[in-house]
Amino acid sequence: MILLSYFEPETNSWQQTTATQLPSHVTTVLPADARLWINLNDANAAEIQQVLQHFAIAPTLAEDFSRQRHPPKLEAQPEFSLLIMRGYADADFAEYSGSAQVNLLYSKQILISRMHCHNPHLLQQLEPQLSNGTPGAIADWVKQLILAVSASYLEKLINFEDEQSELEDVMLHRGNDEYMSRIMRYRSVLRKINRNLAYQKDIFSDAMYEEQSPLLRHFSTADIRDFYEKFERLHSMTDLYYDQLSDLVEGYLSTTSHQINERMKVLTIVSTIFIPLTFVAGIYGMNFIYMPELQMPNGYFMVLIAMALGGIGGLIWFKIRGWW
């Protein structure tokens, strides 16, 4: 289903219709004050191709726009520019069920959008805001969507800072495998969104230094720099949080390893002390008839004293050497 929102300059109002066939008067040449938003969220493949062919979108742009999953990118043809972005659609970083894909084709007066988002609240934020009496600029709509995408990450990252502080305190005092499992899930999610942010940061980074960048058709250098700084900051935050979680993992493993080493040290000392005593007990436990020591009246006590002195002497030696 194709949803059309057309700003009629004569009535100074928006007309919203549902159409399976594009009206004949909707072309790339519109009155100067007219605006057109074509929402393809609920359109099928045939309807999407109909719209793209109607506006003579280049095959390479049409193919990328039609995909439900595509890395963030920016590309242009003489009339239209293609911008693909990814927002964060989950409530937090406990799970990653998929990004919010934002596919935009836009010119000075026309915006063709297709959103793939399982979060209704975010989907509402990713739609242009229409108001009667003013047509608005397509560039302002695209800017609003770019800021909405960046905000979808920022809110979660700010909230995650408190969660990470709690994890640091817990892992310091009573870390266990359950918290380690949570940390590993967080790291996995952060690694995935870090890739998305890296792509989007590079889009605006390249645009700042390309004289023929498609973004310069609709945005000032200051706007592009602002976009870049937002995504660069988000990318840096995910890097920072990922490194801090990695430090927690390494710290927990080091602490666990140290605890195991201390236990092994105690077991080693005990074994070292009792191995000679077991050797003595084994000798006098043999059933030979001729063992002169067995006939000594005080032999039992003498062996016990010798064994006690041997064990105590071993402990003293460990203490002197600093092994215990």
- Note the pLDDT tens digit of each residue in 155-195: 889 988 888 888 888 877 777 878 888 888 899 999 999 99
Nearest CA-CA partner of 141 in 110, 116, 117: 110
Q: Say how far apart CA 201 and CA 217 lie, in whole Å.
A: 19
Residue type, 160: F
Residue type, 15: Q
Residue 311 has a pLDDT of 79
Q: Do residues 187 and 167 touch, judged by C-beta distance below 8 A?
A: no
* Bridge pairing between strands 99-106 and 81-88: antiparallel
Residue 183 has a pLDDT of 87
b/e map of 129-167 (b: 16 or more CB within 10 Å)?
ebeeeebbebbebbbbbbebbbbbbbebbeebeebbeeb
Measured at the CA of 42, the angle between CA 36 and CA 43, to 5 degrees, comes to: 75
| pLDDT tens track for 228-275 | 999 999 999 999 999 988 888 888 777 777 778 778 877 877 887 788
Tell me, what DSSP letter sits at residue 285? T
284 token code pair = 């006098």
Residue 26 has a pLDDT of 58
Helix (H), strand (E) at residue 5 = strand 2-8
Edge-to-edge strand ranges of the sheet holding 110-116: 13-19, 2-8, 35-39, 110-116, 99-106, 81-88, 73-76
Tell me, what DSSP letter sits at residue 280? H
Q: Which segments in the chain show pLDDT lower than 50? A: none
User: The pTM is what?
Assistant: 0.75
Residue 238 has a pLDDT of 93
